Chain A
Amino acid sequence: ETGVTQTPRHLVMGMTNKKSLKCEQHLGHNAMYWYKQSAKKPLELMFVYNFKEQTENNSVPSRFSPECPNSSHLFLHLHTLQPEDSALYLCASSQESRDGSPLHFGNGTRLTVT
């Protein structure tokens, strides 16, 4: 496999459920990101992991919990979500140490909270 792979592609969950999103990158990058994309809004950065260490947490509610076991894998654990959390969740990776290194996105998980 190449690039950035996300699973599942679609997820419907109730407000009391617990689920996890998975991301894997095969690009040899050292930084991984979670973004949230809602309609009519810019991409919102949620979490950044650089060399497996979390370096950014943009005031994301605690019902979202990231995990980065190594530089190739990233998870987003979800629990007691709200309907307004319904969005497209995008994982991305980049080579953090190189100026101008672009983000490479996975296909995203379309999340619907009922």
Chain B
Amino acid sequence: QKEVEQNSGPLSVPEGAIASLNCTYSDRGSQSFFWYRQYSGKSPELIMFIYSNGDKEDGRFTAQLNKASQYVSLLIRDSQPSDSATYLCAVQDTGNQFYFGTGTSLTVIP
């Protein structure tokens, strides 16, 4: 059984701080890694993807991947109240199957 683990939170950070969200996965053969944001009552929305070891930056978001440690993280700089949501980590294996974590609930406090 391939697993994706996330701390369910809730994670609270003050406005303007850096929010750090973490995810570990069990399948060493995993190829692609995604972060989705889901607001309450809404569907998941893709915000970042990363395929190679290292960092990938997009605006205030940075995804970090360490395949040796089977670890992927998402950093949100200058956190805003509008970033308050649940963040889902998704891992895609070589068979193009997606596996999701349970999500981390983030609250940014004004």
Contact = CB atoms under 8 A, between A and B. Distances in A.
Interface stretch (A11-19, A62-70, A72-80, A101-109): A101-109
Contacts, number: 50
Given A42-B4, A42-B101, A43-B100, A100 B49 contact: yes
Contacts of B90: 102-103
Contacts of A103: 34, 44, 46, 90, 98
Range class of the B interface residue count: 20 to 34
A84 interface: no
Please classify how large the interface on chain A is, using the bins under 10, 10 to 19, 20 to 34, 35 or more: 20 to 34
Interface SS, A side: loop
Contacts of B45: 105
Interface of B: 4, 8, 31-32, 34, 36, 41-46, 49, 51, 88, 90, 92, 96-103
Interface of A: 31, 40-43, 45, 56, 88, 90, 94, 96, 99-100, 102-108, 110
